[in-house]
Chain A
Amino acid sequence: MNAQPATAMSLGLAGCEVCGLVSRPLAGQPPHCPRCGERLHFRRPASIERCWALVIAALILYLPANLLPVLTTYTPLGSQTDTIMQGVVELWSPTSWPLAIVVFVASITIPLGKLIALAYLLITVQRGSPKSSRQRVRLYRMVKFIGRWSMLDVFVDTFVVALVQLKPLMWMAPGPGVMFFAGVVVVTMVAVNCFDPRLIWDLPQKECHA
Chain B
Amino acid sequence: MPEPNARDSSLVACPDCDLLQHLPPIPPAGSAHCARCHARLWRHKVDSLNRTLALAVAAAFLLLIANSVPMLGLAVAGREAFTTVIGGVLAMWRDGRQEVAILVLFTAVIAPAFEIACLLAVVLAVRRPPAPAWAGRLLRAYEILREWSMIEIMLLGVLVALIKIAELATVIPGLAMFVLGALVFLLAAMAAVFDPRDAWARVGWVAGASTRPGEGGR
CA distance A90 to B168 in the complex (A): 12
Interface size class of A (residues with CB under 8 A): 35 or more
Q: Is the CB of A159 within 8 A of B88?
A: yes
Q: Is the CB of B150 within 8 A of A148?
A: yes
B189 in the interface (beta carbon within 8 A)? no
Given that A34-B211, A160-B164, A174-B100 are contacting pairs, would A6 and B39 also be in contact in the complex, using a CB cutoff of 8 Å?
Answer: no
Most buried by B among A22, A96, A99, A133: A22
B65 in the interface (beta carbon within 8 A)? no
Which residue on chain B has the smallest CB distance to residue A24?
Answer: B6
B35 in the interface (beta carbon within 8 A)? yes
Give the residues from 1 to 32 in chain A that come closer than 8 angstroms, CB to CB, to chain B.
1-3, 5-9, 11, 13-15, 17-24, 32
Chain A residues with Cβ below 8 Å from B96 are: 174
Chain B residues with Cβ below 8 Å from A183 are: 99
Most buried by B among A11, A163, A186: A163
Give the residues from 119 to 160 in chain B that come closer than 8 angstroms, CB to CB, to chain A.
133, 136-137, 139-140, 143, 147-148, 150, 153-154, 156-160
A173-196 vs B, CB cutoff 8 Å, 1 = contact: the mask equals 110001100110010010000000
Q: Is the CB of A140 within 8 A of B91?
A: no
CA distance A170 to B84 in the complex (A): 20
Interface size class of B (residues with CB under 8 A): 35 or more
Chain B residues with Cβ below 8 Å from A58 are: none
B182 in the interface (beta carbon within 8 A)? no
B24-36 vs A, CB cutoff 8 Å, 1 = contact: the mask equals 0000000000011
Chain A residues with Cβ below 8 Å from B207 are: 32, 34-35, 37
A89 in the interface (beta carbon within 8 A)? no
B80-94 vs A, CB cutoff 8 Å, 1 = contact: the mask equals 010100011111100
Which residue on chain A has the smallest CB distance to residue B38?
Answer: A134
Chain A residues with Cβ below 8 Å from B52 are: none
Chain B residues with Cβ below 8 Å from A50 are: none
**4 new A-B contacts at CB < 8 Å, known A154-B103, A161-B88:** A20-B197, A87-B164, A159-B157, A160-B165
